[in-house]
Amino acid sequence: MLSGVGRNDSNAWQHFYDRYKVLVYMCGKRYGFSPMDLDDLLSRVMSKCFTSSVGQGGHAILSYDRSKGRFRDYFCRIVSNEAITMLREMKRRREVPTENSDGKEFDIADENAEASMQKEYRMCLLNEAFQQVKRELPSRQIQAFIAVRMDGVSPKRISQMQNVSLATVYNDITAVTDAMRKIVSQLEEE
């Protein structure tokens, strides 16, 4: 995907945007940004990634050096830096938010920010794995997983609805989970 982005491939661009948009959103929410500021944060992050960076002679994406660490850490740093820069600019204009979307106060120099960002990144990977699993596994298995583990429907009810045994429902859910775990570990190695 990153090499595709480097070649200005529009599909790779879209893939990159879809994968990271929500991560930027979650980070912005954590810092208490309004919808307008979230939009601004996304624009700034994407601009940072895709426009020439001074002194490096290319995209931030292209100047990413795999040997220096994982892309996720590199990208998370870009997002955090842009969010903090925006907060500082707001502070100068005395518009800085002091509470996040949950109504909790936050500190710019939050020691847990890095851990929160990693957790949010894992959620993005998990979603990507789930989308892939949805394409690969039978819809019955996916339905069982969504209904039981995401919507809290009892496995017994699903077995009646799908007209399969309860053991099949348990096995279907396990199959979906195993497939997701496998894809997440592959994505994490990328």
Partner 1 sequence: MCHLSEFQIQELLSGDCGVFAAWMRRRHLKKCTECSKKADCLKRELDEQCRLGKELKAYQKYSNEASATMRLPRE
**Interacting residues with partner 1 (CB under 8 A):** 17, 21-22, 24-26, 29, 35, 38-39, 42-43, 46-47, 122-124, 126-127, 130, 145, 148-150, 154-156, 166-167, 170, 173-174, 177, 180
Phi, psi of 70 (to 5 degrees): -75, 150
User: Minimum CB separation from partner 1 for residue 157, in Å?
Assistant: 10
Nearer to partner 1 by Cβ, of 127 and 162: the residue is 127
Instruction: Determine which helix (DSSP H) or strand (DSSP E) holds 180, and give its type and residue range.
Output: helix 166-189
Q: Which is nearer to partner 1, 36 or 109 (CB)?
A: 36
Is the Cβ–Cβ distance between 120 and 75 less than 8 Å?
no
Count of alpha carbons within 13 angstroms of residue 170, beta-carbon side: 4
Least distance CB 188 / partner 1 (angstroms): 15
Partners of 53 in beta bridges: 58
Locate all alpha helices (DSSP H) within 7-152, ordered by sequence.
10-30, 35-50, 71-92, 113-136, 139-145
Q: How far is the CB of 71 from partner 1 (least distance, A)?
A: 19
Nearer to partner 1, 42 or 83 (CB): 42
Q: Whole-number minimum distance, CB 174 to partner 1, in Å?
A: 7
Residue 21 buriedness (CB in 10 A; 0-12 / 13-18 / 19+): middle
Supply the minimum distance, in Å, between the C-beta of residue 68 and partner 1.
Answer: 26
Query: ∠138-140-141 over CA atoms, to 5°?
Result: 75
Q: Smaller CB distance to partner 1: residue 66 or 81?
A: 81
For residue 124 the two structure tokens come to: 């993005």
Q: Which is nearer to partner 1, 18 or 69 (CB)?
A: 18
